[in-house]
Chain A
Amino acid sequence: MYPLRLPEVYAAATVLFFVAIFAVHFVRRAFREPKPMGGRAALEMPEGPVKAYDIVQRLYHWSLFVLLGLVALTGINIYYTGALNFLMAPFGVADVISSIYWHTTLLWLLAAVIVIHVVWDVAVARTTKQILPWGRDVKQTFTRLLNFFGATKDYPKHGKYDVFMKTAHWGMTLCIVVLGITGIYMWNPYGYFPAISPDYNSLLTILHDFFSFLFVGLVIGHVYFALLPVNWPMMRSMIAGTVSKDVYLDEFDTSMWPAVRGHKAPPAAMAVAPKEVVA
């Protein structure tokens, strides 16, 4: 026999686990001030900013921000039985029933935006390679963990996304898949699924709750890393669409994130050190 919902203590523990990790990261970063190793990349490229996100990518990022934000808020309002009604008042949401309406109706918009995201990135922008995990990401994980625990002073340069960003992206994807399957099975909007036993319903509810709070933890991480000053250029690019040439050459492994399609950039190991270090 399962409990009806995920107990609140587990929900809080899941979120606090993430918050604790980010707090440790923040303190460690403030004291050690790590920097990307390798210096400026020796790469001949035209003047001007480097394209990071096209307009469609920026639009669906911010659309996901709105939709996932509202789905999460209404979800938390359902879980804590109306505790966030005061925050949902501008939407005319005054009770749990309205929250359920918003929580379920927004899913169709969310599904549409996710389909656009997948089709655009896979077939049009062709940026899948940048977010897929590769063998060298495993190696980088160890190097970065060594840096995190103080064994090295600096951390290796990465492509457009480092291994933790990739993990967060695929973690969120997993959460959304599980939440989608369990949510639609419980909601059963068109009556396609057979009736489920109370025990099975509880299991689905607990899974739905757990992955919801896991998702909230990952989103907190996403926002935390976006707001870290070192990542401001990338956050800026999610509005302006570009990063400066200096940031691109100084902060990123240009072989893992070629700015010009078809351009063969030297790997980070071949990059020259900054002038002041050479001198």
Chain B
Amino acid sequence: MDNMENAGILPGKVRLEFGIAGGLVAACVMSLGVMVLTALNAVGLNWITWAWFPMFGELFGAPGLTSLAAMYGLLGSLLFGIIWGAIFAFAFKKYTVMKGMGIAGVEFFVIVAALSFVSTAEVGGTLLSLSLFGALPILLGLAVALAIWGAAMGYIGKHYIP
């Protein structure tokens, strides 16, 4: 282990724990970010008109527009954060905010792919069934939320891991 630490390579257990804990914390930060970004609707900036968590819950099989879907969405997004946190932890030797955003970019494409084929009530069908301008606000909202996750994950990796 000493040799690995001397070479600047974190042991697997440290990486796994960082991925899990960091991924969860980054998912918490993203959830707070989504709440604040959606709250901007209240001051007239109507840019996220769909509910994040029920939409996410529908991807996990919950019926749309229900509180159950939102519960699934909340637990699903935390779990999603943990899994991608673990992937991030093992994908790089050193961590930076930009690398966190890079992993978030991959997540973005995974979610967009899912939304392209799974019909959700919040989207009003699949992403493919919408026009480009119809899909744009959803893509933008997703991108910003996931960028928050990625930035948080990268920041934690850069500053918090010994």
A residues apposed to B, CB below 8 Å: 49, 55, 58-59, 62-63, 65-66, 70, 86-93, 98, 101-102, 105, 236, 239-242, 244
B160 within 8 A of partner (CB): yes
CB-CB under 8 A for A92 and B53, given A102-B67, A240-B161:
yes
30 A/B residue pairs, CB under 8 Å, sorted by A: A49-B162, A55-B21, A58-B17, A59-B24, A66-B74, A70-B74, A86-B39, A86-B41, A86-B42, A87-B35, A88-B35, A89-B51, A90-B31, A90-B35, A90-B38, A90-B48, A91-B51, A91-B67, A91-B70, A91-B74, A92-B65, A92-B70, A93-B70, A98-B67, A102-B70, A105-B71, A239-B25, A240-B162, A241-B17, A242-B162
| Chain B residue contacts of A241, Cβ below 8 A | 17, 21
B127 within 8 A of partner (CB): no
| Chain B residue contacts of A98, Cβ below 8 A | 67
| Chain A residue contacts of B48, Cβ below 8 A | 90
B149 within 8 A of partner (CB): no
| Chain A residue contacts of B160, Cβ below 8 A | 236, 239-240
Report the number of A-B residue pairs with Cβ-Cβ less than 8 Å: 79
Check A90–B52 contact: CB distance below 8 A.
yes
| Chain A residue contacts of B67, Cβ below 8 A | 91-93, 98, 101-102, 105
A62 to B67 alpha-carbon distance, docked (Å):
22
Contacting A at CB under 8 A, from B1-32, are 17-18, 20-22, 24-25, 28, 31
B residues apposed to A, CB below 8 Å: 17-18, 20-22, 24-25, 28, 31, 34-35, 38-39, 41-42, 48, 51-54, 65-67, 69-71, 74, 78, 156, 159-162
A49 to B1 alpha-carbon distance, docked (Å):
14
A106 → chain B closest CB, angstroms: 8
A93 → chain B closest CB, angstroms: 8
| Chain B residue contacts of A239, Cβ below 8 A | 18, 21-22, 25, 156, 160
Instruction: Give the most central of B21, B38, B70: most A CB within 10 Å.
Output: B21
